[in-house]
Amino acid sequence: MTALPTPQQLWLSFFFSKKNNGAKRSEAILNWIAMSTFELKTHQVGKAYSNPHFFILNKGLNSGKPLSNPCPNCFVVTTSTEKEKNTLYHLSMMLQIGGFYAYYLKGSVIPFISIYDCRNTLKNSFISLINNEFQLQKHINMVSAISKKEAELQKVISKMADLKVSYIQSLFSKMQKEAI
C-alpha cells in the first residue's frame, strides 16, 4: 500500500511537475506581479484616494489618456508606490499615443473603452516590459523628453500666435488713427 502525499508534497509537485511548463509558471507569476502592482477602478466623483494614483479618460476619442486630475468619465489607477504610479502613467500615455487603446473603442456616437479592455491592455503591456526594467525606464525617459519638448514648442507657437494678433491689431489701430 502506498502512502498519500502530504500537502507540502502536492504543493511542490505543482511547481516541479513536468506537466506544468516554466512558461506558464512565469506567466502566472508575472500576472500576479502586475495585478499586485496596480488596481484599476471606475472613478467616483468626489472620492479622495490616499495611495498614489492617476486617472485614465474612458470616453471620447482620447480614451486611455492618463490624467493628473479626475473628470466624470475616467478610471482611477491606484498603486502602492510613487515609482509604480509614474511608470504606469507613462506606460498609459505611450499606449494612448500609440493608438493601442483605440483598438478597443466601442460605440458609434461617443466611443468609450471598457474597464476590462483598459485593465488588460495596461496589464499586458506592463508584463511584457517589466522583464527588462532598464529598457522600460529608457523608453519612459525618451517619451517624457519628447513630451516636454513638445510642450515647449506648443508654448512658442502660442506666443507666436499672440504676437501675430498683437501686430495685426496695432497695424489696424494705427491705420484707423491715420484715417481720422
- Exposure on the CB side of residue 125, measured as CA atoms within 13 A: 23
Whether residue 111 is found in the same domain as residue 57 = yes
Whether residue 76 is found in the same domain as residue 153 = no
CATH number, domain of 49, equals 3.90.220
The residues that bridge with 79 in the sheet, in sequence order, are: 38
pTM check: above 0.75? no
- Residue 23's pLDDT band, with cuts at 50, 70 and 90, is low
Length reported for the chain? 180
In tens, the pLDDT along 134-172 reads 788 888 889 889 989 999 999 999 999 999 999 999 998
In tens, the pLDDT along 73-90 reads 899 999 988 988 988 999
Residue 4 belongs to some domain of the structure: no
CA gap 9, 49 in Å, rounded: 43
Whether residue 46 is found in the same domain as residue 102 = yes
Residue 54's H or E segment, with its range, is strand 53-57
Rounded to the nearest 10°, the torsion over CA 107, 109, 113, 117 is: 10
103 with 110: CB under 8 angstroms?
A: no
User: Which range marks the domain in which residue 141 is found?
Assistant: 133-180
User: Residue 96 burial by CB count (10 A; 0-12/13-18/19+): exposed, middle or buried?
Assistant: buried
In tens, the pLDDT along 94-109 reads 999 999 999 999 998 9
Q: What crossing angle do the helices spanning 133-179 and 82-97 adopt, rounded to 10°?
A: 60
User: Residue 115 burial by CB count (10 A; 0-12/13-18/19+): exposed, middle or buried?
Assistant: middle
